[in-house]
Amino acid sequence: MSSASIIRDSSLAPSGADKIAWVWNNMPLLRAVCADFEKDRPLTGLKVALSVHLEAKTACLCRTLAAGGAEVFATGSNPLSTQDDVAAELARLGVHVYATHGCSQEEYDLYIRKVIEPGPDIIVDDGGDIVQMIRTRFPELEKNVIGGCEETTTGIARLRKLERNGALHFPMIAVNDADCKHLFDNRYGTGQSVFDGIDRTTNLIVAGKKVVVAGYGWCGKGVSMRAKGLGARVIVTEVDPVKALEAHMDGFTVMSMDEAAEQGDLFITVTGNCKVITEEHFLKMKNGAILCNAGHFDVEVDTACLNRIAAEQKQMKPNIRGYLLPNGTWIYLLAEGRLVNLAAGDGHPAEIMDMSFAIQALSCSYLAGHRGMLEPRLIPVPREIDNAVASKKLETLGIRIDALTPEQREYIGL
Ligand code: NAD
Ligand code: SAH
C-alpha cells in the first residue's frame, strides 16, 4: 500500500478489488488502452493528479494511467461518491489515495491539496477543483504542468472563464466536449444512472408520476428520455428558447418552473446553474414532492434556503431528508441535493465510463507526447482520439459499418 495514502480502512480492500474486477471486465476499451500503455509506457516518470468520483470505474482509469508509467495521486470529486473499499484497494495497488466517503469540506480541500503538493505533470480534473486550487494556492507549480483534462460540462465552463480572464496557464483538454463523451456519458449515462440512484433510494414507482426535468442539455435529454420510458409524464423547464422548442418537439410538456412547481411529483435538476428550484417554488409544491439534482453542485436545488426555512427536518432513511415547510407541506430531498446518481448510486454504467475514460487516458498520453507544444488554452480532444474510441467501441459491440468509396468521397467533396 502507498504509505502516503489517507483512506478510511485498508481492510476494506478485498471488497474494492471485487468491484474493480467486475467493472474491468466490462471496460474493453480501457483494457485495450491499458495493454498499449504497458507496452509503450507513454507516461513514464510523470506525476498525475486526479480528482474524479472515486469508485470502481475511476480505479480502472488510475490503473491504466499507472500502467502507462505514471505515478498517480488520486482523490474524489465529491465527498459522497467516494467508495471506501475501492479507495482501500487502489491504495493497496500503489496509487496515492486521499479520499474518504462523507468527508468534511476541510478534508475535501486537504485531499485536493495532497494530490497537488507533489507537483503534478498532468491533471485529470472533474469540475475544476484541482485547477482552481493550483491557481489560487500553488501558482508556483503551474509552470511544471504539461497540461490536463477536464471531464465535465461545469468544469469546462469554469475553465472558459479562466481563459477569458487570461488566467489559464497550461493547456486543458475539454474531454467533456468530445463526441464520444457527452453524446453517451451525459445523455445515456446520466439518463440511466439518475433513475438507478432514485429507484434504489426511494423504492417508489415512476410510472404515472409527473417528473419535472430542469435543463434540456445533454444530461436533461437523457433524463427526460428515460423518465418517459419508465412511464412518467415529463415536464421540461428551460431558459434557452431553442432547447425549450426542442423539448416540445421531442414530445415533452414545456413550462416555467413557477408553473411546474405546483404540478411535479419528482423534480430533477440538470442545468449546471444555481437556485433553479428555490423558496418561491418550494412553497408551491405538493405535499410529498421529491427533489433531487444531477447537475454539478448542490446549489441547483437551493438546499441552503431549504435548511433556512424548514420548520422541522426528518431523515426518513439514508439519502432521503424530509423538510416541513412553513405552509405545512413536507417535501423530500435526495442525497443532500448532490448528484443523485453518484451520491446515492454507483454513477454511470461501466460501458459508458469505458468510453469517457479511454478518452481521458488517450488525452493524457497526447499531452505527454506534445509536451511544450500546446498553447495554454482550452483545447479540443483530437478528432483521431474521438474516432478511434468510436471505432473500437463498435468493434467490441460486433458492429460493422460501411466505408466511403472513392467515388462517394469525390461526390460529397472530400
Ligand atoms: P448542457 O450545457 O448541455 O445543458 C444544461 C442546460 O441547462 C442548458 O440547455 C441550459 O439552457 C439549461 N439551463 C441553465 N440554467 C437553467 C435554469 N435556470 N432553468 C432551466 N434550464 C436551465 O450541460 P450538460 O452536459 O447537460 O450538464 C449539465 C450539468 O450536469 C453540468 O453541471 C454537468 O457538469 C453535470 N453533469 C453531471 C453528470 C452526472 O453524472 N450527474 C454527468 C455529466 C454532466
Ligand atoms: N465535482 C462534481 C463532479 C462533477 S460530476 C461534484 O460535485 O460532484 C459529473 C461527471 O461525473 C460527469 O462528467 C461524468 O463523466 C462523471 N461520472 C459519472 N458517473 C461516473 C462514475 N461512475 N465514475 C466516475 N465518474 C463518473
What confidence score (pLDDT) does residue 48 get? 98
326 with 364, same domain: the answer is no
358 with 263, same domain: the answer is no
- Distances in Å between the alpha carbon of 151 and those of 53, 78, 118? 11, 13, 22
d(CA 26, CA 204): 29
What confidence score (pLDDT) does residue 296 get? 87
Side-chain half-sphere CA neighbours of 15 within 13 A: 10
60 with 169, same domain: the answer is yes
Identify whether 187 is part of a domain.
Answer: no
What confidence score (pLDDT) does residue 248 get? 98
> Where are the alpha helices (H) located in 250-284, listed in sequence order?
257-263, 279-282
20 with 153, same domain: the answer is yes
Q: What is the pLDDT of residues 71-97, one digit of tens each?
A: 999 999 999 899 999 999 999 999 999
Q: Give the CATH number, domain containing residue 227.
A: 3.40.50.720
Residue nearest to atom 25 of ligand 2 (CA): 53
For residue 36, give its domain range. 10-181+348-396
> Once rounded to an integer, what is the mean pLDDT over residues 284-304?
96
354 with 333, same domain: the answer is no
Identify whether 408 is part of a domain.
Answer: no
What is the grid cell recorded at 66? 499507472
42 with 126, same domain: the answer is yes
Residue nearest to atom 22 of ligand 2 (CA): 347
Q: Are strands 330-334 and 290-293 parallel, antiparallel or unpaired?
A: parallel
Select from 94, 185, 249, 202 the least CA-distant residue to 381.
185
131 with 224, same domain: the answer is no
Residue nearest to atom 43 of ligand 1 (CA): 186
131 with 245, same domain: the answer is no
177 with 31, same domain: the answer is yes
What confidence score (pLDDT) does residue 362 get? 98
Which residues sit opposite 277 in a β-bridge? 301
Identify whether 403 is part of a domain.
Answer: no
Among all ligands shown, which has an atom nearest to the Cα of 246? 1
What is the grid cell recorded at 26? 466490462
Q: What is the pLDDT of residues 169-180, one digit of tens each?
A: 999 999 999 999
C-alpha angle 103/203/349, rounded to 5°? Answer: 60
d(CA 43, CA 251): 48
| Residue 109 falls in which region: left (phi positive, over 0), alpha (psi -120 to 50) or beta | alpha
Identify whether 196 is part of a domain.
Answer: no
The finding on whether 19 has its CB within 6 A of some atom of ligand 2 is no
193 C-alpha to ligand 2 centroid (Å): 11
What confidence score (pLDDT) does residue 160 get? 97
Domain count across the chain: 2
Residue with cell 493528479: 49
Identify whether 342 is part of a domain.
Answer: no
Q: What is the pLDDT of residues 116-161, one digit of tens each?
A: 999 999 999 999 999 999 999 999 999 999 999 999 999 999 999 9
110 with 159, same domain: the answer is yes
Asked whether the predicted pLDDT for residue 3 surpasses 70, the reply is no
Judged by DSSP in three states, 29 sits in helix
Handedness of CA 44, 48, 53, 55 (dihedral sign): positive
The finding on whether 190 has its CB within 6 A of some atom of ligand 2 is no
Concatenated DSSP letters of 324-361: E-TTS-EEEEEGGGSBHHHHSS--S-HHHHHHHHHHHH
Identify whether 186 is part of a domain.
Answer: no
> Once rounded to an integer, what is the mean pLDDT over residues 94-122?
97
Select from 41, 67, 218, 77 the least CA-distant residue to 149.
77
| Residue 336 falls in which region: left (phi positive, over 0), alpha (psi -120 to 50) or beta | left
**Domain end residue (candidates: 286, 313, 337):** 337
Asked whether the predicted pLDDT for residue 318 surpasses 80, the reply is yes
What confidence score (pLDDT) does residue 4 get? 84
Q: Give the CATH number, domain containing residue 15.
A: 3.40.50.1480
158 with 24, same domain: the answer is yes
Identify whether 247 is part of a domain.
Answer: yes
Q: Which residues line ligand 1 (CB under 6 A)?
A: 152-154, 182, 186, 190, 214-220, 237-240, 243, 270-273, 276, 294-296, 339, 341, 347-348
Q: What is the pLDDT of residues 201-253, one digit of tens each?
A: 999 999 999 999 999 999 999 999 999 999 999 999 999 999 999 999 999 99
Identify whether 146 is part of a domain.
Answer: yes
The overall average pLDDT reported for the chain is 97
d(CA 338, CA 403): 44
What is the grid cell recorded at 253? 410538456
114 C-alpha to ligand 1 centroid (Å): 30
| DSSP 8-state assignment for residue 311 | S
What confidence score (pLDDT) does residue 2 get? 54
Q: What is the pLDDT of residues 349-382, one digit of tens each?
A: 999 999 999 999 999 999 999 999 999 999 999 9
163 with 274, same domain: the answer is no
What confidence score (pLDDT) does residue 1 get? 58
Query: What predicted TM-score, i.e. pTM, was given to this entire model?
Result: 0.96
Q: Are strands 71-75 and 96-97 parallel, antiparallel or unpaired?
A: parallel
